[in-house]
């Protein structure tokens, strides 16, 4: 069984967070270390450690993550100029909290997806 994370406590509102959206499937809140003017994390309310752990039963929550991202982007006025949705998976992907989370990042030009190496 997956271990509970800080995100579980945010979902239950046991620790403070700037929650911008919450329903029965997902929770969205402002990132505490924003990388752009808009930086919101969108998470499923059920603990799924990584993308590798996704099953068909998770599809409604994962789909809701995308529709909520679109809604928040529109509300924040960044939908027309564009934004980025990022889901990291495991160590090489840069995942730090092992509860799937999608970063909604925008509000400025974001540049290339990956640095040239």
Q: How far apart are CA 69 and CA 94, in angstroms?
A: 20
Q: Which domains does the chain have, with CATH numbers?
A: 6-106 (3.30.428.10)
How many C-beta neighbours within 10 Å does residue 105 have? 20
Enumerate the active-site residues.
101
Region 26-54 average pLDDT? 97
Q: Which residues of 85-104 are buried (b: 16+ CB within 10 A; e: fewer)?
A: eeebbeeeeebeebbbbbbb
Region 53-59 average pLDDT? 97
**pTM beyond cutoff 0.75:** yes
Q: What is the mean pLDDT of the chain?
A: 95
- Which tokens go with 5? 């994370």
User: Looking at the predicted structure, is the pLDDT value of residue 55 above 80?
Assistant: yes
User: Which residues contact residue 85 at a Cβ distance below 8 angstroms, ignoring those fewer than 6 apart?
Assistant: 66, 69, 102, 103, 104, 105
């Amino acid at each position: 069984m997956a271990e509970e994370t800080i995100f579980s406590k945010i979902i239950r509102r046991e620790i403070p967070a700037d929650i911008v959206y919450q329903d029965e499937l997902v929770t969205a809140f402002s990132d505490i270390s924003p990388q752009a003017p808009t930086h919101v994390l969108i998470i499923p309310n059920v603990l799924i450690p990584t993308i590798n752990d996704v099953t068909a039963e998770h599809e409604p929550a994962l789909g809701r993550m995308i529709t909520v991202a679109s809604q928040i982007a529109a509300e924040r006025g960044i939908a027309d100029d564009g934004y980025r949705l990022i889901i990291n998976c495991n160590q090489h992907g840069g995942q730090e909290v092992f509860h799937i989370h999608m970063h909604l990042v925008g509000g400025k030009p974001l540049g290339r997806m990956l640095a040239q190496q």
